[in-house]
Amino acid sequence: MSNIDTAARTAAEKSPVHCVWDAKATLGEGPCWVAREQAIYWVDIKQHQLHRLCTVTDQRRSWHIPDQLTALAPRRNGGFIGTLRDGFALLEIPQLGDRVHIKKLGTPEQEAAGNRFNDGKVDAKGRFWAGSMDDDEAKPTGSLYRLDGDCSWQHIDDNYIITNGPTFSPDGHTLYHTDTLARTIYAFDVTSDGRVGNKRVFFQFDESSGFPDGMTVDEEGCLWVCHFFGWGITRISPKGNIVGRLELPVSNVTSCTFAGDRLETLYITTARKGLTEEQLLAQPLAGGLFRYEPKVRGLAAGIFSG
């Protein structure tokens, strides 16, 4: 283990976060707060798993998904919108039984066999934004898409190796989107009908920060950016200044979302992917779901209008 890893782990051991589910996920991702159920849903992409934690009763459930489910969000009329490896899908998740019912909506990237979808999120207008990536994490074949309420999609941007973390400013006029391997978060202007423009670099991380992964925005408009190989979460102001840092006891921090009646709790997914046996011994909670109580509240999660 390097001196950097040792120092980071020592600091992270003092972290105020708590592991609420030691799931040992290979690639935990996509935490999604569903207020109508008082539950957090999240996925393990590599193990084809969907997990649900009721935050009131602590009841846990897991489902095996034949395809890779990479992200999901609730729909206005019940059920969920999500992304599978090759495209968008509608999902019905049973309260009883073990089979998740999936209706595929189409495959935007039929000719990109090496790609898969990754992160996704719904904006305040009920539109689902999701990105694709090169599954080998080598070629800039990934793109960003917008899925509208009529289940038609629009290509928004491209030239990404790994897309991550679509999230939105409190007023909905700014889209933030991450190019993970470039360690860059971009900002876009968004019109009321979902058109984007004025792409610009919002924040550039250095190598010591690991790789920016999933993220969310709080009520003050600050981004909470998770770091893969980075031992924590960085809070960045709307002006692009670092205003906080949350250390975790694991290095691969993948995504986060606010939850609870007042959106006062942050739930955080993590991963074991890419860690050696020695590193896993030093990080026994890697791949767990964590909880943290910040002194700021989040924004209500968007609900897909379709």
Considering Cα of 39, then 229, then 168, then 27, what sign does the dihedral take?
Answer: negative
Say if residues 120 and 73 touch (Cβ distance below 8 Å). yes
For 180-252, where are the E strands, in sequence order?
184-190, 196-204, 211-217, 223-228, 232-236, 242-247
Say if residues 129 and 111 touch (Cβ distance below 8 Å). no
Q: What's CA 141's distance to the chain center, in Å?
A: 20
Angstrom distance (rounded) from CA 271 to CA 45: 10
Angstrom distance (rounded) from CA 283 to CA 9: 8
Cα distances (Å, whole numbers) of residue 152 to 22, 108, 164, 306: 38, 10, 21, 10
- Choosing from 171, 213, 218, 261, the catalytic residue is 213
Considering Cα of 196, then 183, then 169, then 83, what sign does the dihedral take?
Answer: positive
Contacts of 88 (CB under 8 A, 6+ apart): 81, 82, 104, 105, 106, 108, 128, 130, 147, 151, 153
**Catalytic residue list contains 213:** yes
Say if residues 83 and 70 touch (Cβ distance below 8 Å). yes
Positions annotated as catalytic residues are 213
